[in-house]
Structure 1
Amino acid sequence: MDSRPSHVETQPELTWVSQAWRLALCLVYSSVVWSSVAEMEWHDYRHFFFIELAFGALAFVLVGFRRRAPVPVAVAVAGLSAFSGVASGPGTLAAVSVATRRDYREVLLVGSANVVATQVWLTIAPIEDQEYLVTTLVNLAVNIGVMGWGLYIGSRRELLWSLRARAERAELEQELRVAQARSTERARIAREMHDVLAHRISQVSMQAGALAFRDDLEAPRLREGLGQIQGQANDALHELRDVLGVLREDDEGPATARPQPTYDDIAALVAEARSLGLGIDYSDDVDPTHPVPAATGRTVYRIVQEGITNVRKHAPGSRLAITSSGDQRAGITVRLSNPLSTRGTSAPGAGLGLIGLRERTGLRGGRLEQSAENDTFVLEAWLPWSA
């Protein structure tokens, strides 16, 4: 719930134009009130005529400072209006200004002062055929109306302030949501780019390193090796295009991306790695009676792909064991293990692959753990069936 704003926050700026029309209304109000006795005072009570003008002028000066000291100014002007009908206009403006603050103690104080001051002026002013009961009731009604009007203006100002504050907060929250969405999308793109390119580039690096190491290859074998490198580079370009196509899947243009990998594509991924010389033992014990959901299968595929990439980078020549098991009730568990090795390739690595996999797995409601068991590196993940 929003806290109540201070009157300083809700008050509109007081420009010379707004000050001028307020004083003009005060002058009209004072003229209406004083006109009932001005002529009689001029003829029979001239000293009182000039007292009313002097006190009224002073009230018009004081009311200009109502925002600096609202209650003192309102009480002072009310005191002047007890002896001057000309001061009734400034007294009304000062009272309304206090009421807009919506402090009911101040409203009661200033309202009572105005009622008493008006009643004093009605008593001493030369008004003919005056019925005190009627004038007293009118006095009460007018002052209640004036203070009520001020309370309404204050309430409306607070409402407008609250609406502006909510609009500003909503705009700020929208900017934060947009920034968060951009950050999330950048992280998503980074994960996809890493998963796709790291695997292919590690293959290119491994094959290029093998060719650089061999200086006894004949021309046909060298051309064959370079052709394989070219094929891997082309595959990397195709898969990069696929990723970009998925990231722009909301475009109205023609589709350019091939279908994203699923669980059924893991066998082909393993076969490809074997064909390039990597030793892999693959065991698939997932319930074959129900197809693995696409999102879950794609995550498992990326985990296996990252495991193969890591073996090439950090444990070349080691044998990789991959097992996957699960069903609709238990979810899917995939486990990759390979002997630890002190030999690594020159292929650079930033360590972002496992971080990205952990984020990807967490987004699917699963978990990813890595450990070293008896000189064996183990990467194990669990995912719910319907991630």
Structure 2
Amino acid sequence: MTELRGDGAATSEYRWALPSVLLGDGSAGGRVRRSTRDWIVDILLFLLACGLTFLSLIELRAQHPPEPLMFAEQVTGALSCAAVWLRRRWPVALAVVTGLLSSYLEMPGGASVAALFTVAVHRPFKISGPITLFNLLTLIPYVSLRPQTELDRTWTAALGVAIVLTVFAWGIVIRARRQLVWSLRQRADSAAEEAKRLERERIAREMHDVLAHRISMLSLHAGALEFRPDAPPGEIAKAAGAIRANAHLALQDLREVIGVLRHSTSEGEGGEGGEGTVPERPQPTLADLPALVEECRHAGMDVRLDLRADGAPEGPGRNLYRIVQEALTNARKHAGGAPVTVTVEGAPGKALSVEVRNPLGGRHGGLGVRHGARIPGAGAGLIGLTERAELAGGRLEHGATPQGEFVVRAWLPWPVETTQEDDA
């Protein structure tokens, strides 16, 4: 059986599976572990029941009832006060028994109030409502059977109704507040889980874009060595150095991604996020695009860059860089040796657009060059680029043209700067 603390807390394993239990709607008779706050509340309610019982005893002695009735009042009053400690385990049964005793006896009234309050807090209205109605009905035999004047009966009935309704309303308010707090905690947990999921997706996209670029470069250089085993030693050394450099960068990128994932996992398990934070490397922007093109040229690709956009914001510039990087990676995979044209245009207030175009199948004027086997691909790159563009508020299109080319086009918003410096 799942162990619950009296304040409604449970282990994280059952946090989502048992929301009703966390609100106090669990099955009766289950084991209850009281927290310090629960002990304080239970002691206060026990003292309240004892205080009301003592006041009833003083009033009864002033009325001089028969000895058998006085003895029954004292015994039931003491037992009812002791039974208050069972209110968390059997609240409904305690409310019914004490309410039934209060239909004629006066001293169990304090315990009846405590039991009614517990039912209102820990049970839904479909249970607490009938229990409250039952307590109201028990006032009828009490005011009718106990010897009192007509005026006393009226005041007793009015006071009893006021006490029952006040206690019930108080319990309903506390229950509603607990439900609100639980709902807010659940929403906060859901928001935290969603944030973690989005961060993992972002890391996965970055890992795919970066590692796919590095590994395709490795495959290109390795294919060149395989295709030209009799190349001059200088070219072989240059290709081997490029392979070593790209392998080192790929391992470094993978190490950083694993470090970020481990850090986020430790935070999710309750680790401190202030120390040991894994810093992210500066993300590339539009200004780094010429360096990317130059790196591809050193790897043997025929890339032509037409850059007609300067000063793009960091966000759109980074997304455009990743789009071009993935498009060049796909060109190396599926159209090795074909010339690639990259055209970038944009201005503030207009869309930042990019077009990456290359002939299909690595053919250019009937001649094609491919070093080694085709690099495998799952097609997830273009899907990720489409999602990236849509999340940035833009769109992306890709596909073959009737002219035998494969084209990737993307449009990203470039907002106008809202702040301008006044001319002095």
- With normalisation by structure 2, the TM-score equals 0.65
Cα distance, 1:204–1:93 mapped onto 2, change above 3 Å: closer
Give 2:106's aligned residue: 88
Cα distance, 1:93–1:273 mapped onto 2, change above 3 Å: closer
User: 1:285-340, CA deviations, whole angstroms, 9 ceiling, x for partnerless residues?
Assistant: 33x5xx11111111111111111111111111222222222222221111112222
CA distance in 1, matches of 2:73, 2:277: 81
Give 2:225's aligned residue: 211
1:201, distance to aligned residue in structure 2 (A): 1.9
CA distance in 2, matches of 1:226, 1:20: 82
CA distance in 1, matches of 2:235, 2:348: 48
Give 2:299's aligned residue: 276
Pairing of 1:270-349 with structure 2 (within 5 A): 270-286=293-309, 288=310, 291-341=311-361, 345-349=373-377
* Equivalent residues of 1:245, 1:257 under 8 A apart: no
Give 1:200's aligned residue: 214
Q: Please, which moves more after superposition, 148-157 or 228-237? A: 228-237
CA distance in 1, matches of 2:110, 2:135: 12
Cα distance, 1:77–1:377 mapped onto 2, change above 3 Å: same
1:227, distance to aligned residue in structure 2 (A): 2.4
* AA matched with 2:357: S
Q: Does 1:232 align with 2:258?
A: no
Q: Percent identity?
A: 32
Q: Does 1:368 align with 2:396?
A: yes
* Equivalent residues of 2:101, 2:108 under 8 A apart: no
Give 1:165's aligned residue: 179
1:384, distance to aligned residue in structure 2 (A): 0.1
* Equivalent residues of 1:96, 1:150 under 8 A apart: no
CA distance in 2, matches of 1:251, 1:22: 47
Cα distance, 1:199–1:153 mapped onto 2, change above 3 Å: same
* Equivalent residues of 2:339, 2:359 under 8 A apart: yes
Cα distance, 1:366–1:153 mapped onto 2, change above 3 Å: same
- Provide the secondary structure at the position in 1 that maps to 2:106: helix
Give 1:35's aligned residue: 61
CA distance in 2, matches of 1:238, 1:109: 77
* AA matched with 1:275: H
CA distance in 1, matches of 2:279, 2:46: 69
* Equivalent residues of 1:200, 1:232 under 8 A apart: yes
Pairing of 1:101-112 with structure 2 (within 5 A): 101=128, 106=134, 109-112=137-140
- Provide the secondary structure at the position in 2 that maps to 1:284: strand
Pairing of 1:23-172 with structure 2 (within 5 A): 28=54, 31-36=57-62, 38=64, 52=69, 67-68=92-93, 74=99, 78=103, 81=104, 87-90=105-108, 101=128, 106=134, 109-118=137-146, 121-122=147-148, 132=149, 136-172=150-186
* Equivalent residues of 1:66, 1:94 under 8 A apart: no
User: 1:16-56, CA deviations, whole angstroms, 9 ceiling, x for partnerless residues?
Assistant: x99997986686466445434548x6xxxxxxx65x46986
CA distance in 2, matches of 1:221, 1:8: 75
* Equivalent residues of 2:116, 2:167 under 8 A apart: no
* Corresponding residue pairs, total: 347
- Provide the secondary structure at the position in 2 that maps to 1:341: helix
CA distance in 2, matches of 1:232, 1:59: 85
Larger radius of gyration: 1
* Equivalent residues of 1:10, 1:161 under 8 A apart: no
Q: Does 1:220 align with 2:234?
A: yes
Give 1:263's aligned residue: 286
Give 1:129's aligned residue: none
* Equivalent residues of 1:66, 1:73 under 8 A apart: no
Instruction: Specify every segment of 5 or more residues in structure 1 that has no aligned partner in the other structure, as ranges.
Output: 1-6, 42-48, 82-86, 123-131
CA distance in 2, matches of 1:213, 1:368: 36
Instruction: Specify every segment of 5 or more residues in structure 2 that has no aligned partner in the other structure, as ranges.
Output: 1-22, 33-41, 84-89, 121-127, 264-272, 363-369, 417-424
Cα distance, 1:218–1:268 mapped onto 2, change above 3 Å: closer
CA distance in 1, matches of 2:112, 2:280: 73
1:94, distance to aligned residue in structure 2 (A): 5.3
- With normalisation by structure 1, the TM-score equals 0.70
Pairing of 1:236-255 with structure 2 (within 5 A): 236=250
Cα distance, 1:137–1:345 mapped onto 2, change above 3 Å: farther
CA distance in 2, matches of 1:98, 1:243: 57
* Equivalent residues of 1:332, 1:384 under 8 A apart: yes
* AA matched with 1:35: R
User: 1:155-193, CA deviations, whole angstroms, 9 ceiling, x for partnerless residues?
Assistant: 222222223333333333332222222221111111222
- Provide the secondary structure at the position in 1 that maps to 2:307: strand
* Equivalent residues of 1:316, 1:345 under 8 A apart: no
User: 1:126-154, CA deviations, whole angstroms, 9 ceiling, x for partnerless residues?
Assistant: xxxxxx5xxx3344323322332232222
CA distance in 2, matches of 1:280, 1:355: 23
* Equivalent residues of 1:11, 1:157 under 8 A apart: no
* Equivalent residues of 1:10, 1:158 under 8 A apart: no
1:382, distance to aligned residue in structure 2 (A): 0.7
Give 2:18's aligned residue: none
CA distance in 1, matches of 2:313, 2:244: 33
CA distance in 1, matches of 2:379, 2:360: 16
Cα distance, 1:231–1:68 mapped onto 2, change above 3 Å: closer
CA distance in 2, matches of 1:177, 1:259: 27
